[in-house]
Amino acid sequence: MSPDEHLRRLLLSETDRVEWKESTRQSDEILHAVCALANDLGNSRQPGYLLIGVSKSGAVVGVDEQRKDELQQQLASRLRSSKIQPVPSASVTDHEWQDRTILVVEVEPYPVPPVVEVDARAWVRIGTSTQKANHADLLRLNERRPWNRTPFDTRPLAGTSIDDLEVRSLRAAHASEQAMDDHSESFPSFESWLAQRQLGTILQIGFVPNATAILLFGKSPQDSLPGAWIDCVRYPGIDRDGVPISRRPLTGALRDQLDVGWTWLAAQNEDRPAADNGIQLAFRPDYPEEALKELLRNMVQHRQYEGTNAPGRIEWFTDRIEFSNPGGPFGRAAEGDFGTNSDYRNPLLTSRLVAEGYVQQLGRGVRRARTQLEKNGNPPLEVETDGFTRVIVRRRS
């Protein structure tokens, strides 16, 4: 089929796989539409299409021809933002029709679960409308793949129950959403609400949390996932022979591990003279703090939690810091230089870390760390992979 004929068919009518928007200014609605097309509630297994520059009546109004390249770039960037998680595969192209320019977003169905969400809310296409997913919609989506074929972080964790979760903050969020709902009397129960938030599933034995729920909200995640902790050690020299100067195991939920770990890293870092400008002696840290924070964030986000009891490790020597994690780079992240390509071994965990505010910019962390190290005067990152991923940061000389 020619591109013109394909576009002509997309302009015939809206369907559950085709939606029209008049302008790129409808930013939230665009994200909701892409989210819904990625979730593919009808299980068509076919690409979905969002046409921008087409009114709801089907009239081709077009986008600003002079700004089409800029609008494409803005749209592509928006579709890779942390607002939509996990990030679906989508492409943006421009097409001419009736002397006007239309932007076409082609969205591939995401192999859910996990379900794609915008700001932690799932959207689906019902006929020709985009709607918030209800409990029944989420059940349909979550039942699509056998559990043994889904990412580890989405699977119910055997032997756990709601009693293994620290639910105070979760119950507060549930109550807050219920109070704001127009139909609070029919608002889902707490356990159904947890299931809607992709934090577990309701089985015959009751609600069973998944690995993401246990890692983020568990009372003691290490009871179920013994390797889900990080051993932080500082040595007095350049090898492991000396008696450690400092040791701090990072245990508990991942949010606590990040908070405590960032504090530990900051406490080990030292400022040393960097340059004398003739007026005052400038000092600079041995390592840029934000780069260290990013590498710790990367550890908890991307490590392998399944099938290993080995913890992550941060080893601080006098000349370097080594960050090591079970598991090699995952999927496309294994292609090219470390940090060049993004992929997610734990897509649901990643989306929840975004929702909790612990991850801000997806796919850019290692690149940002490299840039910060260069600006601080540190040598480039060194990476070794042998079943573990080891990232070595050399001290500023």
Same domain for 318 and 193, yes or no, is no
For residue 217, give the nearest of 192, 196, 200, 202 by alpha carbon: 200
Q: Is the CB of residue 161 less than 8 Å from the CB of residue 207?
A: yes
Same domain for 53 and 21, yes or no, is yes
Same domain for 372 and 252, yes or no, is yes
Same domain for 48 and 168, yes or no, is no
pLDDT above 90 for 277: no
Residue 320 lies in a domain: yes
Same domain for 63 and 118, yes or no, is yes
Entry pTM = 0.82
Q: What pLDDT is stored for residue 185 in this prediction?
A: 78
Residue 162 lies in a domain: yes
Confidence class of residue 273 from pLDDT cuts 50, 70 and 90? confident
Q: What pLDDT is stored for residue 138 in this prediction?
A: 87
94-111 tens-digit pLDDT: 999 999 999 999 999 999
Domain endpoint, select from 176, 201, 221: 221
Residue 85 lies in a domain: yes
Same domain for 110 and 182, yes or no, is no
Residue 140 lies in a domain: no
Same domain for 62 and 191, yes or no, is no
Domain endpoint, select from 176, 202, 221: 221
For the range 222-225, what are the long-range contacts, defined as Cβ-Cβ under 8 Å and sequence gap of 24 or more? 222/251, 223/164, 224/157, 224/159, 224/160, 224/164, 225/157, 225/305
Give me the CATH number covering residue 118. 3.30.950.30
Same domain for 259 and 371, yes or no, is yes
150-203 tens-digit pLDDT: 899 999 999 999 999 999 999 999 999 899 887 777 888 999 999 989 999 988
Residue 141 lies in a domain: no
Same domain for 194 and 255, yes or no, is no
Residue 362 lies in a domain: yes
Mean pLDDT of 108-115: 92
Q: What pLDDT is stored for residue 385 in this prediction?
A: 87
200-213 tens-digit pLDDT: 998 888 999 999 99
Residue 138 lies in a domain: no
Q: Tell me how far apart the alpha carbons of residues 80 and 256 are, in angstroms, rounded to a whole number.
A: 27
For residue 348, give the nearest of 228, 218, 214 by alpha carbon: 214
Q: What pLDDT is stored for residue 154 in this prediction?
A: 93
Q: What pLDDT is stored for residue 331 in this prediction?
A: 63
240-261 tens-digit pLDDT: 998 999 999 999 999 999 999 9
Domain endpoint, select from 70, 97, 130: 130
Structural domain including 80 reads: 3-130
Same domain for 306 and 206, yes or no, is no
Residue 330 lies in a domain: yes
Same domain for 191 and 235, yes or no, is no
Same domain for 216 and 331, yes or no, is no
Length of the chain: 397
| Structural domains counted in the chain | 3
Please report, for residues 13, 109, 160, 269, the alpha-carbon distance to residue 234 in angstroms, rounded to integers and kept in the order given. Answer: 64, 46, 35, 11
Q: Whole-number mean pLDDT of the chain? A: 91
Q: What pLDDT is stored for residue 364 in this prediction?
A: 74
